Amino acid sequence: MRIEISNLQENPTNLLRRAGYFFQRQEGQEMSFVRPLARQGFPRFHLYAKVENFKLVINLHLDQKKNTYGDNTRHHGEYENNQLLSEEVARIKSIIV
């Protein structure tokens, strides 16, 4: 699910930390953050964020469980049409907008 936040007034990392996300890693211009929903680490919200044309662009999905395919690129994620994702988007916007 894609979110765009205009008129950034603060560092994106600080904004996402305020929303309960933990910085995971940075790959080029894109930063990865997670917010676990259980002590075991999964399910968790996982987002990629980058600043693009003075906007914070966030791509959010829900990782249901750790990958089980042998490579680290595929996992059990939900990206669209999910009530929990919609609620999380509203929560993030209420905190950082």
Kindly give the confidence (pLDDT) of every residue in the chain, 97 residues in length, as a single tens digit, with 9 standing for 90 and above: 999 999 888 999 999 999 999 999 999 999 999 999 998 889 999 999 999 988 999 999 999 877 655 555 555 566 677 899 999 999 999 998 8
- The answer for residues whose C-beta is within 8 angstroms of residue 33's C-beta and 6 or more apart is 16, 21, 22, 23, 24, 46, 47, 48, 49
Predicted local distance difference test score (pLDDT) of residue 32:
97
Predicted local distance difference test score (pLDDT) of residue 67:
63
Q: How far, in Å, CA of 14 to CA of 40, rounded?
A: 25
Sketch the domain layout of the chain as residue ranges: 1-29+37-74
Three-class SS of residue 29? Answer: coil
3-state helix, strand, coil in the chain (%, to 5): 20, 40, 35
